[in-house]
């Protein structure tokens, strides 16, 4: 029997990431610098790790309620109020998930029926399209542009809306562009959606990593609150990627249905991680502030360095990536990354990996130590001279 | 201009160039250069040191923390005695303390004997010093926010996200 024949066609059709080969190559190199991985270089703050350890020592190793521990949901509710002025009832409007990724998956599976269209602004994180397909929907990609600060403009949104549109994904602050949507931008979205039957999935995993501007959620816009599911988590803000802790806040009807899916597929999010997450929300505001300040310095340093080196670079307002244009080199983004890696042993990600509109750019993650960033910039200058 | 940010950056890495500091702070490089010069003149920036773990070198060094009790002197309180203590080259740090004793002295010598003789011959004999207690430092774990052992690196990580 050929097992391959048994596999669902839509799974086989999912494209594996095109950037794998770079990283296999990177592994074989000495003295290589990777600005490819989008996760904090910090370890989780010690008091948060300690809370996880303590819960293990106490033997708190059982399942939790499906929606997550009430103590944690209460902390999330307080946090959403404190940080973003949003009101969610811990008893029916919040569910704790296995990372923000499960949150996105749950939201799409709860909403989509065959034929439903999901509007996805790109360049953006790679999961929305494949998860839409797995949930039976059809992704509709909308190309945002550097000259619009990588925002989803009203014109772009209108051009993508159809009778079949079920979901609008808003991935802001945006990986990889660093673009954000400000209040006025979101109000315009609200104006367009107010007479439609379209839900918003707002991926706000980078909300705490906003620089200069305070993050505004679509849920802050009255016309959008009732149709928005906010996806957030602990990975980026608290440097907790490996704990797999995320959460969803949204309308009661949506949360109730998602708890069902989560219950059958996952049971409950990891218990140890939930104890650590409670500590993070109770006493972690200062950690966020310190890490944000550090990312902000690196962000400015890198943007300055890239512009000095002669690359056009949009100034990112959120997340921890810069997304310079490499069009001036005449290379495609994939060629650029491959040659940069081979010649200078620095790994960055081709913009084309992030969907339509990404070609001509590369993503560099500055959640890497300052020494690495300095060295990467020096090598970039050498590389650009080589090309010239 | 508030220079706290600049000072924090320098305290962490004094090798960062004015250009790099300016980029990180979103400021003008010439302005940062001037400000550093001013801060040096005003004794806000006192020096630029490397942090060295001498235990990893062949150099044998002994560090001691010495509690010192004194009788404060009329007129100048503790300052005069403090000056007589910190003038000794061996003295690395000197702090006036609240609590059961008055000063903490940190000194580094080549041998135990060298440290002991400093305490008995130099420190205890200063006018006004009424008693000392010497504690030898056995191992340094962390200094100025820097751990002496680098944290282990998680080996199996996702390569790209």
Q: Residue B125: which of B76, B88, B79 has the closest Cα?
A: B88
CB contact under 8 A, A37 and B157: yes
pLDDT range class, residue A103, cuts 50, 70, 90: very high
Residue B74, pLDDT score: 76
Phi-psi region of A370 (alpha: psi -120 to 50; beta: other; left: phi over 0): alpha
Report chain B residues whose CB lies below 8 A from the CB of A349.
Answer: 160
Average pLDDT over residues A366-377: 94
Tens of pLDDT, residue by residue over A264-280, are 999 999 999 999 999 99
**Higher per-residue confidence, B152 vs A167:** A167
CA neighbours closer than 13 Å in the CB half-sphere of residue A330 = 3
Whether the ipTM is more than 0.90: the answer is no
Q: How many Cβ pairs closer than 8 A exist between chain A and B?
A: 40
Residue A18, pLDDT score: 62
Give the fold, CATH level 3, of A3-44+286-387: 3.90.1150
Best of B8, B22, B24 to disrupt the A interface by mutation (most A CBs within 10 Å)? B24
d(CA A100, CA A98): 7
Report yes or no: A347 and A364 within 8 Å, Cβ to Cβ.
no
Q: Look up tokens 């797995």; give the residue.
A: A134
CB contact under 8 A, A300 and B25: yes
To the nearest whole angstrom, how far is the Cα of A334 from the nearest Cα of chain B? 15
CB contact under 8 A, B161 and A23: no
Residue A142 above 70 pLDDT?
A: yes
Residue B161, pLDDT score: 62
Tens of pLDDT, residue by residue over B50-89, are 999 988 998 889 999 999 999 987 777 899 999 999 999 8
**Higher per-residue confidence, A96 vs B58:** A96
Tens of pLDDT, residue by residue over A17-69, are 766 777 777 888 888 999 998 899 999 999 999 999 999 999 999 999 999 99
What does the domain layout of chain B look like in residue ranges? 4-41, 54-139
Tens of pLDDT, residue by residue over A202-228, are 999 999 999 999 999 999 999 999 999
Q: Residue A159: which of A130, A123, A187, A117 has the closest Cα?
A: A117
Q: Residue A19: which of A242, A325, A351, A366 has the closest Cα?
A: A351
User: CA-nearest residue of chain B to A176?
Assistant: B161
B75-84: long-range pairs with CB below 8 Å, 24+ = B78/B102, B78/B103, B81/B126, B81/B127, B81/B128, B81/B129, B84/B126
User: CA-nearest residue of chain B to A298?
Assistant: B24
d(CA B134, CA B127): 19
Range in A84-93, A284-293, B146-155 the model is least confident about? B146-155
Q: How far, in Å, are A127, A128, A191 from residue A164 at the CA level? A: 21, 17, 19
Report yes or no: A174 and A152 within 8 Å, Cβ to Cβ.
no
Average pLDDT over residues A96-121: 98
Report yes or no: A298 and A366 within 8 Å, Cβ to Cβ.
yes
Q: How far apart are the first and last CA of chain B?
A: 40
Residue A169 above 80 pLDDT?
A: yes
Q: Which residues neighbour B104 within 8 Å (Cβ) at sequence distance 6 or greater? A: B65, B66, B67, B68, B93, B94, B95, B97
Residue B97 corresponds to which tokens in the numbers above?
A: 């303390």
Best of B23, B27, B153 to disrupt the A interface by mutation (most A CBs within 10 Å)? B23
Q: For domain A46-283, give its CATH number from 3.40.640.10, 1.10.10.10, 3.30.2130.30, 3.40.228.10.
A: 3.40.640.10
Q: What is chain B's length?
A: 161
Running DSSP on this structure, what letter comes out for residue A361? B
To the nearest whole angstrom, how far is the Cα of B23 from the nearest Cα of chain A? 5
Residue A334 corresponds to which tokens in the numbers above?
A: 């994939």
Report yes or no: B146 and B50 within 8 Å, Cβ to Cβ.
no
Q: Which residues neighbour B72 within 8 Å (Cβ) at sequence distance 6 or greater? A: B78, B81, B102, B128
Tens of pLDDT, residue by residue over B89-112, are 899 999 999 999 999 999 999 899
Tens of pLDDT, residue by residue over A59-71, are 999 999 999 999 9
Average pLDDT over residues B118-135: 94
Burial of A110 (0-12, 13-18, 19+ CB in 10 A): buried
Residue B156, pLDDT score: 81
Q: How far, in Å, are A21, A22, A326, A342 from residue A25 at the CA level? A: 6, 5, 22, 9
What does the domain layout of chain A look like in residue ranges? 3-44+286-387, 46-283
DSSP string, A30-97: TT-EE----S-SSPPPHHHHHHHHHHHHTT--S---TT--HHHHHHHHHHHHHHH-----TTTSEEEE
Q: For domain B54-139, give its CATH number from 3.30.1540.10, 3.30.70.920, 1.20.120.1460, 3.30.360.10.
A: 3.30.70.920
pLDDT range class, residue B160, cuts 50, 70, 90: low
Nearest to A37 among B9, B25, B160 (CB): B160
Q: % helix / strand / coil in chain B, to the nearest 5?
A: 35, 20, 45
Average pLDDT over residues A362-376: 94
Q: How far, in Å, are A238, B55, B161 from residue B108 at the CA level? A: 40, 13, 49
Average pLDDT over residues A340-366: 95
The mean of the pLDDT values for chain B is 91
CB contact under 8 A, A26 and B159: yes
The mean of the pLDDT values for chain A is 95
Q: Name residues 369-388 of chain A within 8 A of B (Cβ).
A: 370, 374
Measured from the Cβ of residue A198, the count of other Cβ atoms closer than 10 Å reads: 20
CA neighbours closer than 13 Å in the CB half-sphere of residue B71 = 7
Best of A301, A313, A341 to disrupt the B interface by mutation (most B CBs within 10 Å)? A301
To the nearest whole angstrom, how far is the Cα of A17 from the nearest Cα of chain B? 10
Backbone angles phi, psi at A92, to 5 degrees: -165, -5
d(CA B11, CA A319): 27
């Amino acid at each position: 029997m050929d097992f391959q024949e048994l596999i669902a066609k839509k799974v086989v059709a999912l494209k594996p990431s095109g950037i794998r080969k770079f990283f296999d190559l990177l592994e074989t190199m000495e003295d290589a610098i990777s600005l490819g991985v989008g996760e904090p270089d910090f370890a989780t703050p010690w008091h948060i790790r300690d809370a996880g350890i303590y819960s293990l020592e106490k033997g708190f190793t059982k399942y939790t309620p499906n929606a997550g521990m009430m103590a944690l949901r209460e902390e999330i509710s307080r946090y959403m109020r404190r940080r973003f002025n949003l009101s969610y009832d811990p008893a029916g409007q919040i569910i704790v998930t296995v990372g923000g990724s499960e949150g996105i998956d749950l939201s799409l599976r709860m909403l989509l029926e065959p034929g439903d269209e999901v509007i996805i602004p790109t360049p953006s994180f790679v999961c929305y399209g494949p998860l839409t397909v797995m949930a039976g929907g059809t992704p509709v990609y909308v190309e945002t542009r550097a000259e619009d600060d990588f925002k989803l403009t009203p014109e772009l949104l209108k051009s993508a809306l159809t009778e079949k549109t079920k979901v609008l994904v808003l991935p802001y602050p945006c990986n990889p562009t660093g673009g954000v949507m400000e209040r006025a931008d979101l109000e315009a979205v609200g104006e367009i959606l107010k007479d439609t039957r379209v839900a918003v999935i707002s991926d706000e995993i980078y909300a705490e990593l906003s620089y200069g501007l305070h993050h505004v959620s679509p849920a802050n816009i009255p016309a959008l609150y009732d149709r928005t599911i906010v996806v957030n988590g602990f990975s980026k803000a608290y440097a907790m990627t490996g704990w797999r802790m995320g959460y969803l806040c949204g309308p009661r009807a949506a949360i109730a249905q998602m708890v069902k899916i989560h219950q059958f597929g996952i049971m409950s999010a990891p218990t140890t991680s939930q104890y650590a997450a409670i500590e993070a929300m109770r006493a972690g505001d200062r950690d966020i502030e310190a890490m944000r300040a550090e990312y902000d310095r690196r962000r400015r340093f890198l943007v300055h360095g890239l512009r000095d080196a002669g690359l056009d670079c949009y100034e990112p307002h959120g997340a921890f990536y810069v997304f310079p244009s490499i069009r001036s080199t005449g290379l495609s983004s994939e060629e650029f990354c491959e040659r940069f890696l081979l010649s200078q042993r620095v790994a960055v990600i081709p913009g084309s990996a992030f969907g339509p509109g990404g070609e001509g750019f590369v993503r560099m993650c500055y959640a890497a130590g300052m020494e690495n960033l300095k060295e990467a910039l020096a090598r970039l200058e050498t590389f650009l001279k080589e090309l010239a | 201009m508030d220079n706290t940010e600049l000072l924090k950056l320098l305290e962490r890495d004094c090798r960062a160039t004015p250009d790099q500091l300016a980029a990180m702070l979103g400021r003008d490089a010439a302005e940062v250069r001037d400000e550093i010069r001013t801060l040096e003149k005003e004794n806000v920036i006192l020096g630029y040191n490397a942090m060295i773990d001498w235990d990893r070198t062949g150099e044998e060094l002994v560090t001691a923390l010495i509690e010192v009790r004194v009788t404060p002197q009329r007129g100048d309180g503790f300052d005069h005695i403090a000056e007589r203590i910190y003038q000794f080259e061996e003295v690395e740090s000197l702090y006036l303390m609240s609590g059961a004793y008055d000063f903490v002295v940190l000194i580094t010598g080549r041998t135990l004997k060298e440290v002991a003789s400093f305490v008995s011959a130099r420190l205890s004999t200063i006018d006004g010093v009424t008693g000392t207690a010497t504690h030898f430092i056995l191992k340094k774990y962390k200094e100025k926010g820097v751990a002496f052992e680098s944290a282990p690196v998680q080996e199996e990580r996702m390569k790209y996200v």
